[in-house]
Structure 1
Amino acid sequence: MKPEDLELLVTRTMPYGKYKGRLIADLPGNYLNWFARVGFPPGEIGQLLALMQEIDHNGLSRLLDPLRQRQKQ
């Protein structure tokens, strides 16, 4: 993981599927856990989904709040 990846979680949107257009950081935990069970897609989107699943699973989603605030400014 690179520090820039955390920034991408609050700026990059899901490109397809049920939650198309939703920020990666805003995806529900059950959707992220489903990917963890069936496999994350290849490439950057899969890496971001895996990172977000790990953050969500460990209850660390609030760590993204400062990055969210910076995006609103």
Structure 2
Amino acid sequence: MLQGNRDALIELAHYKMPFGKYQGEYLIDIPEYYYTWFKQKGFPKGKLGGMMQQMHDIKINGLEELIYTIKKQYKK
């Protein structure tokens, strides 16, 4: 169970936006307002939408440093 959570956080830390204004940017580096807009309009379906929703929760709770730390410790 914990291994799966760890792997999911590592993937989240290294995931890049595949489309739009922030295409090619790491999800962690995209501003909070972008995620808030998607929350209002609806996140994309599938894996990306779930990751964006997680990133929104991380950002509104001030936990970005956790993702930056994971990104540094677990290089892809």
Question: What does the per-residue CA deviation read over 1:1-58, in whole Å, with 9 as the maximum and x for residues that have no partner?
Answer: 9332211222111000000000111111000111111110001000000000000011
Q: For 1:31-46, list aligned pairs within 5 A.
A: 31-46=34-49
Q: Which residue of 2 aligns with 1:48?
A: 51
In 2, Cα distance between equivalents of 1:66 and 1:20 = 22
Aligned residues: 73
CA contact (8 A) 1:10 1:25 kept: yes
Aligned residue among 52, 56, 61 for 1:58: 61
**How many Å apart are 1:71 and its aligned residue?**
4.1
Q: CA RMSD in A?
A: 1.9
**Aligned-pair identity (%):** 34
Aligned residue among 50, 54, 67 for 2:70: 67
Unaligned runs of 5+ in 1: none
TM-score normalized with structure 1 length: 0.87
TM-score normalized with structure 2 length: 0.84
CA contact (8 A) 1:5 1:48 kept: no
In 2, Cα distance between equivalents of 1:53 and 1:24 = 10
